[in-house]
Amino acid sequence: MHDIRAIRENPSQFDANLARRSLAPLSAEILALDEARRACITASEAAQAERNAASKDVGAAKARGDDAEFERLRALVAEKKDEIARLEDEAKTRDAALRDMLATIPNAPAADVPDGADETDNVELHKWGTPRSFDFKPVEHFELASVAPSMDFETAAKLSGSRFVMLGGAVARIHRALAQFMLDTHVDQNGLTEMNGPVLVRPETMFGTGQLPKFGEDSYETTNGWWMIPTSEVTLTNIVSGEIVEEAALPMRYTAHSLCFRSEAGSAGRDTAGMLRQHQFEKVEMVSITHPDHSDDEQKRMLRCAEGILETLNIPYRTVTLCTGDMGFGAVRTYDIEAWLPGQDCYREISSVSSCGDFQARRMNARFRPSGGGKPEFVHTLNGSGLAVGRCLIAVLENGQEADGSVTLPAVLHPYLGGKTRLLADGTLG
């Protein structure tokens, strides 16, 4: 949510930020609505003052027997009462219209975010690891002989339709092991607090992190008005909604492993093979609530937490800065981590780490009380995948594949798999 005071003070900068998002200027329309709202409030206050003054004079006119003045003043009081009600209703209507308008405008990009139209304009920061050279043609995850028996798309389609998968046996266990490894790493090494929250939330919770009202079609709503979370960013960030926390409590760092649900409304025909893009998937999420002065450093810290997971798994990756045209609605800056998938012969996104500044905090009314005194200020919020479990499974399977269809598994997963080191060609662990 944008600060209307900042728009009043520098409308040209606001429009310049919109232009970086390829949006038309909106400051004039916003300020006209704001001025009309404020005019209603001012007129209501003036009418209230006139009503108060007339109310005081009514008694005096009655006491001195001035019936004509008494009736005039009494009529004026009634008239002002109706006028005040009308002006207050108009102010509320315009305030709601202003809030609705501001709620659909994306966050302003940070100054260091590259301008661009789409993902082709993203800027690579660095690469880690060297993609493996195979002495055979690598295949995609769902084509592996060891995986096919335990990655059942047909049964899932029978139960739920397209873009669902049923994992079984060894593959299901590897998937679970990956999530456990990620959580343990974030808790034991990265200092995050593990949480386990609901996957059904109220609409105001989705509004707080920016999924509503503009992107409702991307998520699922239940018949009784709950929403299924697209990521536990929604629940973890909203822990501080409506709260004033002490500055000493910052940063607040959380992680959670949850089911996630996305309609994939805008991805028809994309990644239909395999389990790369699903309606239901699992993710280990990271969320930080920070002091505004520390959010840039916190984003870099979170990025390293996510990159570290891939490095420990020995998955080659590259990290890119998203350009203005590819960045999400609520972000001021986003880094994407893309894992190397030899079956596709390309890097594919496995994590996004975003700083949202005070954009979400304003929507949630989440603030902190400065330790040195003064008025409460809005916190900064950040979120990042640490990582998408299903996509990480894909990366592990494809990078570890062998010519016979078996998979050599990362050493860090062996303790989570009872000491097993490979997914054998027959689909069992060995």
Tell me the catalytic residues: 262, 277, 349, 352, 391
Q: Enter the tokens of residue 35.
A: 């001025």
Q: Which one-letter DSSP state was computed for residue 136?
A: S
Cα–Cα distance measured from residue 166 to residue 150, given in angstroms and rounded to the nearest whole number: 8
Cα–Cα distance measured from residue 207 to residue 216, given in angstroms and rounded to the nearest whole number: 10
State which H helix or E strand residue 396 sits in. helix 389-399
State which H helix or E strand residue 42 sits in. helix 27-63
Other beta carbons less than 10 A from residue 149's beta carbon: 14
Residue 46: is it exposed, middle or buried by C-beta count within 10 angstroms (0-12/13-18/19+)? middle
Residue 82: is it exposed, middle or buried by C-beta count within 10 angstroms (0-12/13-18/19+)? exposed
Question: What three-state secondary structure class fits 398?
Answer: helix
Cα–Cα distance measured from residue 242 to residue 362, given in angstroms and rounded to the nearest whole number: 10
By the 8 A CB rule, do 308 and 298 touch?
A: no
Angle at 387 between CA 159 and CA 262, to 5 degrees: 40
Cα–Cα distance measured from residue 205 to residue 280, given in angstroms and rounded to the nearest whole number: 20
